[in-house]
Structure 1
Amino acid sequence: MTNPEANPKTHVCADGGRPGPQAEREDGAPVEIITARAVPLGGPRAMHVRRTLPQRQRSLIGAWCFIDHYGPDRMSANGGMDVAPHPHTGLQTLSWLFEGAIAHLDSGGNGARILPGQMHLMTAGSGICHSETSTPDTDLLHGVQLWIALPEEARHRPERRLESFVPEPVEFDGGSALVFLGSLLGSESPVGTHTPLVGAEIGLGPGRTLDLPVDPGFEHGLLVDTGEAVTLEGVHVPEDTVGYTGVGSRTLRVANGGGGPARLVFLEGAPFTEQVLMWWNFLGRSMEEIQRYQEEWQEHGERFGRVEGYVGHGGPGRNRDGMSRLPAPKLPPVRIRPRENPPPHARSRT
Structure 2
Amino acid sequence: MTVVDVNSWAARAIRRLHAEGGGAQTPLRRLPLPAGWHVEVYLKDESAHPTGTVKHRLVRALYCHAIASGRIGPETEVVTGTGGPVAVAGAYFARLLGLSFTAVLPARTPAAVRDGVERYGGRWHTAEQPPAALQREAAQVAEGLGGHALDHFADAAQAVLGCGAPTVADEIFDQLRGTGHPVPRWIVTGAGTGATSATTGRHLRRHGYDARLAVVDPEGSAYFPGWTLGRRDYTTGLPSRIPGIGRPRVEPAFEPGVVDLVIPVPDAASPAAVRWLARTAGLAAGPATGTVLWGLCHLVAGLVERGTPGSVVAVAGDGARPDDTVPAARSHAPDPYEAALDRFLSTARSPVVDGGVG
Query: TM-score category by the smaller chain?
Result: under 0.3
TM-score norm. by structure 2 comes to 0.24
Pick the structure with greater CA Rg.
Answer: 2
Structure number with higher helix proportion? 2
Structure number with higher strand proportion? 1
Q: Which has the higher contact order (CA 8 A, sep 6+)?
A: 1
